[in-house]
Structure 1
Amino acid sequence: MKTLIVLLLLLFTLNASSLRISAQTLNQDVLKYKILDTRSLKDYQAGHIHGAINFDVAQTYSNMELNGKLTDPLEMQNIIQLAGLNIEDNVVIYDNGSFFDAARLFWALEVYGFTNVKLLTAGYKQWLQKGLKTTTKVTSVVQSDYITVINNKRLATKFSTQIATKNPNHIIIDARPTKAYIGKVSVAQRFGHIPKATNIPASHNIDKSSNISILKDVEILKDIYKNISKDKKVVIYCALGKISATNYFALRELDYDVSNYDASWKEWGNDLKLPIVNPSQK
């Protein structure tokens, strides 16, 4: 019986870690993947992983000045087609090493139907430090015939988040820094957090003990989220639906039923009709 339990735990760990890929592994199998560089075009042109395609994360926002809402389906369809991506592609995403942009694109592609997406465990900075192959040559792509597919399980909205505040089978996680959660700072008119939300800052998913940020190991992530029940649906939010994507990624690795609220606090906190909790006023 003990042997069976160990095997099941090992199988779970392997499945969970399949959403990430190391620099060494990617370097060995670079031709197996469509590699997406989420940095700006300027940074991409200055140097990128050999074979990578520029997919600036800004393209995932409908209007960043308003909130973090995801780009609408018709526009995203065009963006994905121009990037040469097909729904069945094996995709690897990286950014400058913060993981916020890479995780945001990871989440956006999952919302738009992609199922074979991974994050590089460290960003471009580590790739350079390892002396792995880079180039300034822009990777040529052939426009794809991708047709919009929406996975609504991965996208939370203002409406579905309102439901989550009243549904005992839902958990809400606020991924912002604690100062924002307790109402000391805010990107919106109001200060505080969404009712029922618990605070697990996005930074908790990233190891910054060295000079290079890396994703924390799956076993460490399990401990971080040990009090989050797998029997419930999880809604995550932050200020703009960006840094919360790292929590989303972590919970996807741990096999939770999780969605990211794209417009996040900037929408909720500016809607005076919606309830909030502001601990700083108590």
Structure 2
Amino acid sequence: MNKYRITIFSVIFLFFSGLGSTYANERQHEWVIEGSELQQKINENQPIIIFDARSQEQYKQGHINTAISFPTALTYVAINNAYYVKSIKKIAPLLQQKGVTTSQQIIIYDQGDLKNAARLFWVLELYGIKNIAILNGGINAWSEQYLLTKIATIPQPSQYFPILNSSVYASTTVAKVAAYSDLYQLYDSRTLAEFIGERSATDKFGHIPTAKSIQNSVFFNTTATGVSLLKSPKQLNPIFASLDKSRKSVTYCNKGKASTLTYFLMKQAGFKVSHYDGSWLEWSEKGLPVEK
């Protein structure tokens, strides 16, 4: 058994757990935070941890005051041309180093497309953290109203040890089942050109059988200054209204960033949803069936 993958026990638990429908309905209204709310929390010295999910280089160029650099790339491990979330054994020292704890709310941001933020959100959820929010608009929106700093914040190490929340995780086995079972629906968050087989990040063209395409671009409004902001839940409702909430939803993309944003918003909308770790890169590498 590959030491970097979620254990067989976890996969079996996921398959029979109903993808954590109770967990999926918790705190839906608290998962997105606006810049003004975050600034208020900072001004009031509220007990929060802010993670900058961009690269270390971007962080050094300017970041939100008190934010800790936590590049999403640190949560990945590469195996056979695909990327996976690190195992508990590998992720625990990283989470402790970054000061992850259950006693403080964690707020995550990136440049603004929210792919890195959503990926880190999913990783923290997978490993037992629940009190998390994503900053709407990221640095792009924040910097229009508030100053940035180049002074790095050094995290206070914690003793947190991850607890696996396998309800948010889908393995290859689950993705295979989802492709042919009426109990599941797969959602592909890659570009439309990739979905229909005109382009591909691998040598396989098309999509996982029975998957539906859902583009990240439909989730955003653009301001007059060109900043992308998430649509409100009311605006997102028409997008999700045509999808079947009675099914267990599984999201995927190429590497697991765009699909974790889809996962995040579907979960906020009340879907029973998990993310396929490995995604299209793994599916292609294994030579599994595709359709166009």
Q: How far is 1:46 from its partner?
A: 2.2
Kindly report which structure 2 residues correspond to 1:130-169, keeping only aligned pairs within 5 A, or say none: 130=145, 132-169=146-183
* 2:51 alignment counterpart: 36
Aligned match of 1:174: 188
Query: Is 1:107 matched up with 2:119?
Result: no
Matched, 1:59 2:74: yes
CA RMSD across the alignment: 1.8
- Name the residue aligned to 2:9: none
The TM-score, its normalising length taken from structure 2, stands at 0.86
Cα shift readout 1:63-111 (whole Å, capped 9, x = no counterpart): 2882231122212111110001113431110001111111111111111
AA aligned to 1:76 is I
CA contact (8 A) 1:188 1:267 kept: no
CA distance in structure 1 between the aligned counterparts of 2:55 and 2:253, rounded to whole angstroms: 22
Kindly tell me: are residues 47 and 215 of structure 1, through their superposed partners in 2, closer, same or farther at Cα, counting changes over 3 Å? same
Q: Cα gap change, 1:59/1:65 in structure 2, threshold over 3 Å: closer, same or farther?
A: farther
1:252 maps to which of 264, 267, 276: 267
DSSP-derived class of the 2:212 partner: strand
- Alignment match of 1:19 (pick from 31, 38, 55): 31
Q: How does 1:185-196 map onto structure 2 within 5 Å?
A: 185-196=199-210
Secondary structure at the aligned position of 1:134 is classed as coil
Identity value in percent: 31
Structure 1 runs of 4+ aligned residues shifted over 3 Å read: none
User: Residue in 2 aligned with 1:268?
Assistant: 283
Deviation string for 1:153-187 (max 9, x for gaps)? 11111111111122211111011111111111111
Q: Which residue does 1:205 correspond to in 2?
A: 219
Native 8 Å contact 1:88 1:115 kept in 2: no
Q: How far did residue 62 of structure 1 move?
A: 0.9
Q: In the alignment, what sits opposite 1:8?
A: none
- Indicate yes or no: 2:250 matched with 1:235: yes
Task: Give the SS at the match of 1:275.
Answer: coil
Q: 1:98 to 1:49 in 2, by over 3 A?
A: same
- Residue 284 of structure 2 aligns with an amino acid whose one-letter code is G
* Distance in structure 2 (CA, Å) of the matches to 1:45 and 1:190: 38
Q: Deviations over 1:258-278 (max 9, x none)?
A: 111121111112222x22112
Which amino acid in 1 is paired with 2:205?
Answer: F
What is the alpha-carbon distance in structure 1 between the residues aligned to residue 140 and residue 196 of structure 2?
A: 34
